[in-house]
Amino acid sequence: MKEIVKREGLEWIKAFALGMIIFIFIRIFFFSNYVVEGESMLPTLEDGNKVVVNKLGYETENLERFDVIVFHANEDEDFVKRVIGLPGDKVEYREDRLFINGKKVEEPFLDQYRNQSPVGYLTGDFTLQDLTGAESVPEGKLFVLGDNRLGSWDSRQFGFISEKQVVGKVNLRYWQLEEMDVSF
């Protein structure tokens, strides 16, 4: 009887260890948790929000305009921003309105901020050429902005980011619990 209990206990330990290995593997290679720091993505993401980033279920070629992504800003920091310009896009802002390839594009995620803002425009006028010297977003690059356009350090200051810098796409905000959201 002791032998059976011993084997059963050993099997449970093996199953638990295998489960932990699988969990760690998935955690490292497929998903990451990030804590949002700062106010550059207000009102979409607030300082202290916790998000899950999908590292594998996307390809940078599959990123779409307005996806919220995390990318390596440098060796020590990762930033969370919204994709505005994709490779080949001509990006321009005029009178607080976004134009991609000459066509006006709505940004519904900014409506709440526009309604609350006592100041004029959220996003100053610019063209890519003004900011970067390029007419359009180069291949392998992205143009990103924070939703808090008045308080975000983004592609307007540091230029394009490489698709290779992208860690993944934000799929879920899970903290604060009352703010849980999967739609970005």
Is 49 strand, coil or helix? coil
- Give yes or no for a contact between 58 and 41, defined as CB atoms under 8 angstroms apart: no
- 149: phi > 0 → left, psi -120 to 50 → alpha, else beta; which? alpha
- Is 2 labeled as catalytic in the residue annotation? no
Q: Which of 6, 40, 104, 117 is catalytic?
A: 40
- Cα angle 167-30-173, degrees, rounded to a multiple of 5: 70
- Give yes or no for a contact between 149 and 171, defined as CB atoms under 8 angstroms apart: no
- Is 81 labeled as catalytic in the residue annotation? yes
Q: Which of 2, 81, 152, 169 is catalytic?
A: 81
Catalytic annotation, residues = 40, 81
